[in-house]
Chains A and B, each alone.
Chain A
Amino acid sequence: MSAILPPSERLWWKHPLDRVEGTWIAIALAWCLTMFFMMVGWHIYGKQNLSTETYKTTPEKFSAKAQAMVDKYTVRTETADKIPVVAPPAGSDVYIVARLWNFWPILELEKDKTYRLHLTAMDYNHGFSLQPANINIQVVPGYEHVVTVTPNQSGTYSVVCNEYCGIGHHTMVGRVYVK
């Protein structure tokens, strides 16, 4: 029962390794390094890397910028709450406000065009979960996160809040159209 007894050899660190262990350690280390360099390499060659561009913000500052976009590019409204549907030009800065309990406004983007998507939360933490693409980004109050997105398929996407934000959490769903 030696794992629960002191090692019988005082100089246990001089013990030779069994070949099973040595081989496995070499293989496992090679795999670990592969995974590490895969992650680094994807930053160079891959097309899906989360931006780290972040600014400190306040609800007032961010709302003002989102409102300016809505005033300029609204094409129609949807649902009984008259949520504006905004179609900003390709390449522009677009804003989604996450707050208790909705994402505002609805964006209408063009396929294969690139946008600078600004995200922040007005109150608590929220989660930006784009479905069915399944892209998930944390939305933290006080921080404006700028993510460059390039939609690669047209269709109707939903933005589900997947960070618990209180009793109405399950009603917090927004929308993005890609044409």
Chain B
Amino acid sequence: MSSTTYRTCPRSGLQFEANAEKLMLANAVAAVVFLLIGGILAVGVVLTRWPAIHWLEADTFYKVLTAHGIDMLIFWIIFFEIAVLYFCSSTLLRCRLATPKIAWLAFALMVIGAIVNNVAVYQGSSSVMMTSYVPMMAAPSFYAGLILFAVGALIGCFVFLGTLVVAKRDKTYQGSVPLVTFGAVTACIIAVFTIASGAIILIPTFLMSVGLVEKVDPLVYRTIWWAFGHSSQQINVAAHISIWYAVAAIAFGAKPMSERVSRGAFLLYILFLQLASAHHLLADPGLSTGWKVVNTSYFMYFAVLASMIHGLTIPGAMEVAQRAKGFNKGLFEWLRKAPWGNPVFSGVFISIIGFGFLGGISGVMMGTEQLNMIIHNTIYVPGHFHATVVVGTTLSFMALTYFLIPVLFKREMIAPGLAKLQPYLFGLSMYFFCLVMMGAGTLGVSRRHWDMAFQGAALAYPWPGAAYLMMGLVGIAGIAAITGGAIYIYVTVGSLLWGKKLEAGATSANFTPIPRSAPTVVAQSYGSAGFAAPGTFMLAMVFLVAFILYYFINWKYLSQVWGLS
């Protein structure tokens, strides 16, 4: 047995192993650094796409947009996810982290890769966007950086899996792993698939950039790259949904309505979520209709089904817990009396609603084979993925950070008033940002486009005034959201640097196994009509109606365009 210590946090009762704690801290800090960089870059993107300001020159804009995409979608999120994986294994299972030295090697590779990739982009010869579609080539170091980062992340995944083995062998728990850890396993499995796909396509592209491979086929590149590019966002989905379950447990003491349903839904993710990379290829030549339909629908929307299940069971678990505490009046007292002033809860709740209503519904629209034709590569697409990745993942990570500041960082949060406000400012302005982007996209405005006025084009297309208005609103909402992001960074970094040090709690050379909790009665009879969570069911029905209406509105819109066959 290696020598390590275990600290029991006096505020949460969680047990942190010394190596795991340091690694979580390092990965979380690296994540926040990349969020900061990505956030600064966002200013450039937003102020250039705001037509009235149109700030940066074209070359700078594309450089900034490339770096913004990669820093946010890859580096910020995956660094944080590695911290979450270590938390869900070592901390929740109360065991030591497997192979801490290798975990540090993984961290080092990720840091080096991220820096190398960023430098390549800022040098200017790699403004190829995050997708880097061949035959447009970036500098070799652009690909090399991504590959190093991916190798590091892959090692991190295996450290997580190794830690599960350690916990099992040391018998730190009995029975099955907690639901949140199960969700993290889902994220990890998806991550291994994702990173392998990335390697399969980025390694030959790297070799092409140094002249060792003559040609990578553009369509093959797109097909495999998206198995990496889209799947990496599926890691996020599995990770942030695990965090939602964790926060429901932390903020309310909620237990899952049914382990069977929630775990079954994660299993559907493992089986079907990956197929969704086909979403990006629906407007492509060369792929058959059958391939497109089967894949884009996650076989038969089984992964959408899983998300709809999580969307019900998480608020449902909160409702059941609140009703048990006596907030039992009417459909929504449980929600009105929720801790809205606690950013850990408010962040997660704003995230759940936004992810479902904005990200989920718009995602299904884009992923419908025919509807994709009226959306592909318009600014509707970033509208969608800001709702999933920013409102869904980033806001959940922010909420979790507010929980971790006293628990993991052992600091008192500075500026609690600002922190209280932050999820609302960031989340709600992001809602609006996504909505107006989708609005502009419905009018056809292109994504990744420097100038909607087509300066210098012989046959410029005059976008309707409404499109300009929408893009102006995108600018305003974007600046509001960036302000919200800045507050998060200020509170997090400030607490880490200047927050009052809190007591670490008792340390011990041995872990304390998780005691077996007494089986509880299943019956959940607090609600009306035999429904344990009637309020949540009501919300779910509102969601369903919105979903159905918007779905058929889009078909109506499609039916009016040119005949295509």
Contacts and interface: CB of A to CB of B under 8 A. Distances in A.
Interface of A: 1-10, 12-21, 23-25, 27-29, 31-33, 35-36, 38-40, 42-43, 46-52, 54, 78-81, 83, 102, 106, 114, 119, 123-125, 127, 129-138, 140-145, 147-152, 158, 160-167, 169-175
Nearest to A27: B544
Contacts of B530: 19
B559 A16 contact: no
Interface in B162-176: 173-176
A7 B175 contact: yes
B564 A51 contact: yes
Contact of B256 (A2, A35, A130, A141): A2
Nearest to B294: A36
B178 A4 contact: yes
A32 B302 contact: yes
Contact of B374 (A14, A83, A135, A158): A135
B340 interface: no
A134 B296 CA distance: 21
Nearest to A43: B289
Given A48-B370, A169-B450, A6 B563 contact: no
Given A123-B135, A134-B444, A170-B450, A46 B284 contact: no
A9 B256 CA distance: 12
Given A5-B517, A127-B377, A160 B461 contact: yes
Nearest to B461: A158
A50 B537 CA distance: 38
Nearest to A25: B309
11 contacts: A3-B249, A4-B92, A12-B259, A24-B540, A28-B308, A39-B293, A39-B297, A83-B458, A129-B444, A132-B444, A164-B129
A48 B530 CA distance: 46
Nearest to A143: B285
Given A20-B316, A50-B370, A137-B283, 10 more contacts: A35-B304, A123-B135, A131-B461, A136-B375, A136-B444, A138-B376, A141-B218, A144-B285, A149-B563, A152-B562
A163 B448 CA distance: 7
A135 B561 contact: yes
Contact of A170 (B293, B374, B451, B524): B451
Contacts of B481: none
Contact of B316 (A6, A21, A170): A21
A137 B373 contact: yes
B564 A3 contact: no
Interface of B: 58-59, 62, 92, 129, 133, 135-136, 173-180, 217-219, 222, 245-246, 248-250, 253-261, 263, 281-289, 293, 296-297, 300-302, 304-305, 308-309, 312-313, 316-317, 364, 368-370, 373-378, 442-444, 446-452, 454-461, 463-464, 514, 516-520, 522, 524, 527, 530-534, 536-537, 540, 544, 547-548, 551, 555, 558-565
A125 B374 contact: no
A159 to B, nearest CB: 8
B563 A170 contact: no
A12 B260 CA distance: 6
Given A20-B536, A172-B457, A35 B563 contact: no
B561 A48 contact: yes
A143 to B, nearest CB: 5
A136 B454 contact: no
B300 A2 contact: no
A33 B301 contact: yes
A50 to B, nearest CB: 6
Nearest to A123: B135
A1 B261 CA distance: 18
Given A7-B176, A7-B179, A35 B564 contact: no
A130 B443 CA distance: 11
A18 B563 contact: no
Nearest to A28: B308
A50 B369 contact: yes
Given A1-B249, A133-B562, A35 B551 contact: yes
Contacts of A148: 563-565
B259 A13 contact: yes
A75 B401 CA distance: 65
Given A8-B519, A175-B459, A17 B258 contact: yes
B380 to A, nearest CB: 10
A127 B537 CA distance: 42
Given A164-B448, A170-B457, A143 B308 contact: no
Contacts of A114: 563
Contacts of A4: 92, 178-180, 245-246, 249-250
A102 to B, nearest CB: 8
Contacts of A48: 370, 373, 558-559, 561-564
Contacts of B520: 8-9
A81 B533 CA distance: 67
Given A54-B286, A165-B136, A47 B178 contact: no
A162 B449 contact: yes
Contacts of B514: 5-6
A8 B459 contact: no
Contact of B376 (A33, A79, A137): A137
A166 B537 CA distance: 49
A144 B302 CA distance: 34
